[in-house]
Structure 1
Amino acid sequence: MFASKIRHQKSNMEKSDKIIVGISLGDANGIGIEIILKTFQDKRMFDFCTPVLFGSNKVVSFHKKALNLNNSVHGIQSLDKVVHGKLNLISIGKDEFKIDLGKATTEGGKFALKSLSSALEALKKNEIDVLLTAPINKDNIQSKEFHFPGHTEYLEENLDGKSLMILMTDELRIGLITGHIPVANISASITPELITEKVNIMEQSLKQDFNISKPKIAILGLNPHCGDKGVIGKEDDEIIRPTIQKIKETGKLVFGPYAADGFFGSKTYKQFDGVLAMYHDQGLAPFKALSFGNGVNFTAGLNKVRTSPDHGTGFDIAGKNKANTTSFEEALFSSLKIFRNRKEYIELESNRLQSK
């Protein structure tokens, strides 16, 4: 799969078209730096993108030594000094702290936030083209600056647009109507307005980010068996079905609600370009059962492209040279493809409007 991805990416780019990928390093004590370094040991990567790490040479060097890796890392003082064909690193400061692999520490969280916020600022200034984020620990990263349940909400606060978390592989894209909220709050959060908003975001993303002109979207029900006509809950009949019908009347290809168990068990998802789940685990549990380690987390709906691997910090294997790079590689390839698709879509739409 890896080699075919490279061939496909090369066939869709010119040699001079080097996308600058800004990479936040995640928790300093996790596997983020390991999967980054391992990925860019393959020098073919530099043929079609230019990576920039936001971090510390000392932290990266520590991981290189612990993992016995021999990557050459090129330090730069500013982003206008990026060198194509190199693994660039721009310093986020000289804070000294003890790296304690495999442990969630305050220092590890501070480093993750500094790396993320620095990369985000560069993204907002167009100094990098896309953002690729290594995993954070959602507990130790909390601070006055970061008071969010995850990357998605933080990025929505700092970029333009409304976000939609999409977990994706080549054959499955699952978005979430509600995201990182307590289960007790899910039912009250699901409104016609929210469902409509998320459908609109997914449809637009499928068009501009994935080149699907007439996307078909499936919507899952909330209750078991979609409520069984009110026996197991009324939300499906009173909120979800009427909303789907109203959306259909606008011309969008939206279908459902579908009971999640049968929908995934029968592989009905293969008939759709995108799927919207009502809540986090309804979408992510089957997604990870089907594709864990190969999936990508994409933040749709914002004015900038951000992807990440579908796994966490991996504290249990940090420093043991056991981390699998596949999901990170897929996230990298996805960011490049989405960036190009979106650029082409914007140009086509601009030409279409000018011709009117």
Structure 2
Amino acid sequence: MLWTCVKALERCIGRRSSDVLLWHNDLKPHASGDFSIAVVQANSNLEDQSQVFTSPSATYVGVYDGHGGPEASRFVNTNLFPFIHKFAKEQGGISAEVIKKAFNATEEKFFQFVKHQMPVRPQIASVGSCCLVGAISNGELHVANLGDSRAVLGQKVFNAGKTKVVAVRLSKDHNVSYEEVRKEVESQHPDDLHVVVHCRGVWRIKGIIQVSRSIGDLYLKKPEFHRDPRQYGYHVPLKKPVLTAEPSIISRKLKSQDMFLIFASDGLWEHLNDEAAVDIVYRYPRAGIAKRLVGAAIREATKKRELRYKDVMKIERGVRRHFHDDISVVVIYLDRKKGSKRANLGFTTAPMDIFSHDEDKVVEDPFLLKN
């Protein structure tokens, strides 16, 4: 049964690059191939979290892009996979329903955490996180998403005797910058003419936030957490939730032409489109490919500001946020044959406590201790 044979676990500490705010693992094996992971910090506190869990029968990927602070993304990083583990054991394997239940349980547990913290940390009600999860098991892929992190598949196609790789988007961006998402939010709030407004150059829900789905952001979900609108510079009457934690989920059987997956926070997609990212992964060697994608995004960001790449690399955290966001990237290759001897057991994460901007260190992860 899924997970029962997982005993030996590997912690993988990221290596520093010449950029002191960049941490990466060039290449590691998983049940279906290899994976590469990279994280670069731009904010004063790293708000991105990412993790990969591998066993002989399954691979899980998580990318969590926090906003308003790092608390929600760290919370998801600690709690979501244990809930997936729990519900998969109860239902005999991974499924879209298992993932949906895990998202809901994580949201409810974060609600209890915020409720407990509110008397001493009222700002915790305005902390949230986008949440992107991929699960591969028994030849099937599930991708679940809240917010605007994105999963993209690199798929081989044959046309007129030639082979090329195309980008197939596997997640939906829940961001009101897209007209479709604005209409979805407006249709859910027909009595609120100002649920989505154009504010500070972009569309925002209640003039505050661009994503329509997240973990947390409870001040926009629960009336009891409603705060003084003067703190946000815009009136925020709340009769019912304007954000949701209901994930969109895509499930599909993996095909022989499916070559690799890219999971990344919107810090990458702000500067690289799907096709450009897939082309980079296809054309360059595997080792360090996630780091290469991060570098490509930063180079595009520097071009927009007419700066040199090496100059941006010297900018300290916090100040660097003016040039690019935190960026997390996980690339999953899908070409290992079933039963390969290279399949191993492992768990690697890129949370703040392991990919630390002060020092690399190993900690006891509560998920590991439970298993």
| TM-score under structure 2 length normalisation | 0.26
Report 1 or 2 for greater relative contact order, CA contacts < 8 Å, sequence distance ≥ 6.
2
Higher strand share: 2
Higher helix share: 1
